């Protein structure tokens, strides 16, 4: 399965285009199937309908756990580093993780869970989060993990959309010096969610919580019951390759987040194949991905990818800058991390602290570095290369999306020649194309356009939960017979790919996808707001910041207080991650005669570039532009 040289890469790539089914069959043969497939692939991008390994039977947890027990049962599967460095860390070997997953799958079953149920998981980065995810998969229930930073309202929307019957959470969470009352947030969400029958609560921070009779149970009590019943094993449910494995909500151009659906077989093959290849994982290496399991990066590259390959994966509860900006380097030093995978926003933030936090930290164990979430600018690339990798570690800049399930355009460590700022070349099995506004393919090199993919890959989304039409219109209707990524991209003279950022109304703030319409809807909920428009602007650390233009005619008194109220509203409705960085009160928004907001103008103003706003003659009232320019922040 592993590509070891550049000629091998070229060969594999060629094969993946000319004989895709044979190519993927050989990769899929490296996994454990209870029964192999009837058909490798059937597809069309019109409906769309995509099926990989149809008829095959498997359980992904047998690939992540059972099959490793004999050869490496005593090897660490998860190393957990707590938020507070003075507290004890935890190590779970493959055998221990297997036992805990079986135990918790039994707990779920005792609480009424069965194959096909949707289960919402809202937990901080503790080992039990990975255990809960795997226990759902073992039982055949579909997990929907919601990131710990989302509000009660956002959680409720997600629970309602998927009609979840069980929620798994903790009393509280802690990140740096901030405490998050997770169970209380869940209680607020559940006021609106009649489908939820059971809430399983792990004790973590011992924050006081209200436990509702008949609905809420403690994780620890439920485990005790399993122990008394003497249940140790949990026979994994047999899943079809195309049965749903999980739903993960992500933002798009419209107001409502969509539930991206991944299925068991293809996703497993793709997560394992990409992990092993891009990072060239070797047995015994310690791998540390700094993402949260609430995002796709955590699903594919903390849990499923690494575990399916028998890797040791480090899970970190805290934040990079607490107790100080040397925390990541302490962790690398402490566990002798070999592969370190993080995000540009973290790199830029740590860069800003200078060299001091690196003093006395032994980073010599590092052999490979990775980046994900947004474009890695050259300055950050070089800092990462020089200060962290000491110029001896390849930087694997992985471009991919929630919808793609795994890496798409990415270097293969020590195989692909690198270029700072570039995600380099597509992995074998991935066929990118650039298209112009009309959807015509742009051939050749030294060109840019909208990035599409023209052939299916096993890890791609199958649908958006409960609304297949939305999946079609969002990804497959913009350009005929192509999957549209929403990203702009440059292919340089050497055929190397550089992602230039979203071309739709999606912002990328610290690597988090945020829909501008979602933020506008939240701002407009505030009682004195008439309307608003949200755009992104370049931000040194976050990549993009959120700039809101708000029409608030009856706002009297201190504008600073009004700003705080709006921030609070967004926090309550979406979550703190979507809070605007700048709020400018305006008397009106620049609209065309047909009533469309001209975002192009607002973007320019937010970027601080007001010299050339282009043609504004189609505006209903060009005068508002002068006012907005004058008040720009
Ligand atoms: C994995 C993940 C997807 C969007 C994607 C793109 C941006 C991700 C990138 C990158 C440049 C990279 N993105 N990786 N841009 N270089 N290496 O982040 O998924 O949260 O769905 O975001 O992130 O704009 O379209 P997701």
pLDDT digits (tens, 9 = 90+) for 511-564: 999 999 999 999 999 988 999 999 999 999 999 999 999 999 887 788 899 999
pLDDT of residue 91: 98
Please report the ipTM that was assigned to this predicted complex.
Answer: 1.00
- Among 595, 594, 596, 616, CA closest to 605: 616
pTM recorded for the entire structure: 0.95
C-alpha–C-alpha distance, residues 562 and 555, integer Å:
7
In the chain, how many domains are there?
3
pLDDT band at residue 344, thresholds of 50, 70 and 90? very high
Q: How far is the CA of 508 from the centre of ligand 1 (A)?
A: 8
44-58, 76-90, 319-333, 617-631, range with the lowest pLDDT: 617-631
Q: Are residues 454 and 571 in the same domain?
A: no
Q: What is the pLDDT of residue 255?
A: 73
Q: For a ligand 1 pocket test, name from 395, 461, 499 the mutation site with the most ligand atoms within 8 angstroms of its C-beta.
A: 499
Q: Give the nearest ligand 1 atom to 499 CA.
A: 11
Angle between helices 152-162 and 182-190 (to 10 degrees): 50
Give a yes or no: residue 363 inside a domain.
Answer: no
In a domain, 612, yes or no: yes
Which of 205, 237, 269 is the last residue before a domain boundary?
A: 237
Does 120 lie in the same domain as 221?
A: yes
pLDDT digits (tens, 9 = 90+) for 156-211: 999 999 999 999 999 999 999 999 999 999 999 999 999 999 999 999 999 999 99
Q: Is residue 87 in a domain?
A: no
Q: Where are the beta strands (DSSP E) in 176-271?
A: 178-180, 198-202, 216-218, 239-240, 244-250, 258-263
Closest Cα to atom 4 of ligand 1: 401
Please determine, for residue 62, whether its predicted confidence score (pLDDT) is greater than 80. Answer: yes
Is residue 537 one of the residues assigned to a domain?
yes
Q: Could you tell me if 486 and 576 lie in one domain?
A: no
Task: List the end-to-end C-alpha distance of the chain, in Å, as a whole number.
Answer: 53
Residue 608 in domain:
yes
CA 512 to ligand 1: nearest atom: 20
Please provide residue 254's backbone torsions phi and psi, each rounded to the nearest 5 degrees. Answer: -95, 175
* Distance (Å, whole) CA 521 – CA 578: 12
Question: Do 491 and 522 belong together in one domain?
Answer: no
3-state secondary structure 531-578: EEEEEEEEECCCEEEEEEEEECCCCCCCHHHHHHHHHHHHHHHCEHHH
Q: Which of 278, 290, 372, 450, when mutated, tests ligand 1's pocket best, judged by the most ligand atoms within 8 Å of its CB? A: 372
Together in a domain, 121 and 210: yes
Q: Is 513 in the same domain as 463?
A: no
Residue 594: pLDDT over 80? no
Within 13 A of 273's CA, how many CA atoms are on the CB side?
28
Ligand 1 centroid to residue 153 C-alpha, Å? 25
- Return the residue whose CA atom lies nearest to atom 23 of ligand 1: 373
**Are both 110 and 125 inside the same structural domain?**
yes
How remote is the CA of residue 52 from the centroid of ligand 1, in Å?
24
Q: How far apart are CA 145 and CA 168, in angstroms?
A: 9
What's the gap in Å between 400 CA and the centre of ligand 1? 5
Question: How many Cβ atoms from other residues are within 10 Å of residue 181's Cβ?
Answer: 17
Exposed e or buried b for every residue in 103-127, given b needs 16+ CB within 10 A?
Answer: bbbbbbbebebeeebbbbbbbbbbb
Distance (Å) from CA 10 to ligand 1 centroid: 25
The 10 Å CB-count burial string (b at 16+, else e) for 395-427 is: bbbbbbbbbbbbbbbbbbbebbebbbbbbbbbb
288, 190 Cβ separation under 8 angstroms: no
Does residue 479 sit in the same domain as residue 568? Answer: no
Q: What is the DSSP letter of 427?
A: P
Among the three residues 237, 256, 276, which one is the final residue of a domain in this structure? 237
Q: Which helix (H) or strand (E) holds 624?
A: helix 623-630
Residues 167 and 186 in one domain: yes
350 found inside a domain: no
User: Distance between CA 67 and CA 326 in Å, rounded?
Assistant: 37
Q: Mean pLDDT over all residues of the chain?
A: 96
Q: Report helix, strand or coil for 479.
A: coil
235: Cβ contacts below 8 Å, ≥ 6 apart: none
pLDDT-derived band of residue 298, with 50, 70 and 90 as boundaries?
very high
State residue 426's pLDDT score.
Answer: 98
- Give the residue numbers spanning the domain of 588: 506-630
Do residues 495 and 515 both lie within one domain? Answer: no
How far, in Å, is the centroid of ligand 1 from the Cα of 395? Answer: 16
Cα(246)–Cα(261) distance, integer angstroms: 6
Tokens of 178: 């901030």
Percent of the chain at pLDDT exceeding 90: 92
We report the CATH number of the domain holding residue 114 as 3.40.50.980
Nearest CA to ligand 1 atom 6: 374
The set of protein residues with a Cβ atom below 6 angstroms from ligand 1 is: 250, 295-297, 372-375, 397-402, 423, 485-487, 499, 502, 508, 513
Q: Is residue 497 part of a domain?
A: yes
- Best probe residue, ligand 1, of 292, 369, 508 (max atoms within 8 Å of C-beta): 508
Assigned domain for 550 exists: yes
Tell me if residue 324 falls in helix, strand or coil.
coil
Q: Give the pLDDT score at 610.
A: 84
Shared domain check, 570 and 468: no
Select from 490, 513, 514, 577 the residue to mutate for testing ligand 1; criterion: most ligand atoms less than 8 Å from CB: 513
How many angstroms does the Cα of residue 204 sit away from the middle of ligand 1? 32
Same domain, 182 and 158: yes
Q: What angle do CA 287, 293, 297 make, to 5 degrees?
A: 65
pLDDT digits (tens, 9 = 90+) for 356-378: 999 999 999 999 999 999 999 99
Domain boundary pick from 502, 524, 540: 502
The domain that holds 597 is classified in CATH as 3.30.300.30
Give the pLDDT of residue 492.
Answer: 97
């Amino acid at each position: 399965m592993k590509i070891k040289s550049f000629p091998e890469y070229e060969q594999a790539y060629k094969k993946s285009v000319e004989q895709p089914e044979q190519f993927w069959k050989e990769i899929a043969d490296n996994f454990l199937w209870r029964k192999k497939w009837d058909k490798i692939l059937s597809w069309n991008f019109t409906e769309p309908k995509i099926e990989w390994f149809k008829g095959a039977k498997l359980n992904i947890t047998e690939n992540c756990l059972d099959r490793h027990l004999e050869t490496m049962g005593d090897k660490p599967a998860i190393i957990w580093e707590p938020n507070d460095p003075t507290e004890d860390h935890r190590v779970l070997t493959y055998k221990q993780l297997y036992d805990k997953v079986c135990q918790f799958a039994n707990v779920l079953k005792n609480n009424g869970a069965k194959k096909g149920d949707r289960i919402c998981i809202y937990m901080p980065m503790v080992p039990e989060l990975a255990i809960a995810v795997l226990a759902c998969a073992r039982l055949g229930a579909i997990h929907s993990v919601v990131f710990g930073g989302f509000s009660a309202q956002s959680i409720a929307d997600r629970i309602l959309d998927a009609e979840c019957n069980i929620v798994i959470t903790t009393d509280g969470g802690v990140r740096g010096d901030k405490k998050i009352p997770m169970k209380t947030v869940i209680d607020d969400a559940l006021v609106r969610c009649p489908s939820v029958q059971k809430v399983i609560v792990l004790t973590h921070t011992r924050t006081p919580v209200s436990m509702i009779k008949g609905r809420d149970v403690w994780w620890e009590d439920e485990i005790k019951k399993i122990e008394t019943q003497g249940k140790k094993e949990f026979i994994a449910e047999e899943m079809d390759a195309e049965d749903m494995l999980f739903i993960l909500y992500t933002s798009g151009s419209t107001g409502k987040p969509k539930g991206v659906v991944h299925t068991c077989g293809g996703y497993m093959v793709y997560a394992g194949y990409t992990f092993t290849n891009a990072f060239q994982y070797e047995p015994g290496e310690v791998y540390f991905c700094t993402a949260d399991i609430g995002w796709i990066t955590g699903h594919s590259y903390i849990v499923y990818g690494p575990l399916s390959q028998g890797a040791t994966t480090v899970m970190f509860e805290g934040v990079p800058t607490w107790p100080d900006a040397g925390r990541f380097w302490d962790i690398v030093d402490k566990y002798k991390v070999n592969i370190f995978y993080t995000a540009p926003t973290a790199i830029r933030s740590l860069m800003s602290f200078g060299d001091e936090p690196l003093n006395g930290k032994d980073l010599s164990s590092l052999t490979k570095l990775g980046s994900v979430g947004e474009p890695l600018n050259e300055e950050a690339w070089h800092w990462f290369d020089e200060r962290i990798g000491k110029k001896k570690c390849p930087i694997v800049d992985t471009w991919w999306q929630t919808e793609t399930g795994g890496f798409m355009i990415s270097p293969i460590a020590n195989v692909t020649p690198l270029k700072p700022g570039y995600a380099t070349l597509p992995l074998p099995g991935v066929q990118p194309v650039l298209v112009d506004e009309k959807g015509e393919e742009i051939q050749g090199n030294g060109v840019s356009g909208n990035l599409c993919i023209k052939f299916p890959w096993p890890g791609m989304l199958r649908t958006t939960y409960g609304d297949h039409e939305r999946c079609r219109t969002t990804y497959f209707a913009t350009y005929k017979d192509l999957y549209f990524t929403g990203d702009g991209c440059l292919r340089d003279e050497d055929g190397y790919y550089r992602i230039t950022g979203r071309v739709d109304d999606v912002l990328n703030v610290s690597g988090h996808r945020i829909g501008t319409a979602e933020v506008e809807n939240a701002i407009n909920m505030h009682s004195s707001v008439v309307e608003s428009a949200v755009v992104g602007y370049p931000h040194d650390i976050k990549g993009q910041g959120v700039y809101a233009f708000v029409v608030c005619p009856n706002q009297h008194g201190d504008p600073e207080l009004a700003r705080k109220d709006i921030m609070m509203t967004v926090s309550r409705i979406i979550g703190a991650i979507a809070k605007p960085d700048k709020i400018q009160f305006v008397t009106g928004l620049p609209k065309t005669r047909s009533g469309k907001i001209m975002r192009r103008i607002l973007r320019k103003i937010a970027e601080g570039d007001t010299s050339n706003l282009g043609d504004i003659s189609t505006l209903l009232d060009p005068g508002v532009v002068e006012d907005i320019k004058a008040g720009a922040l």
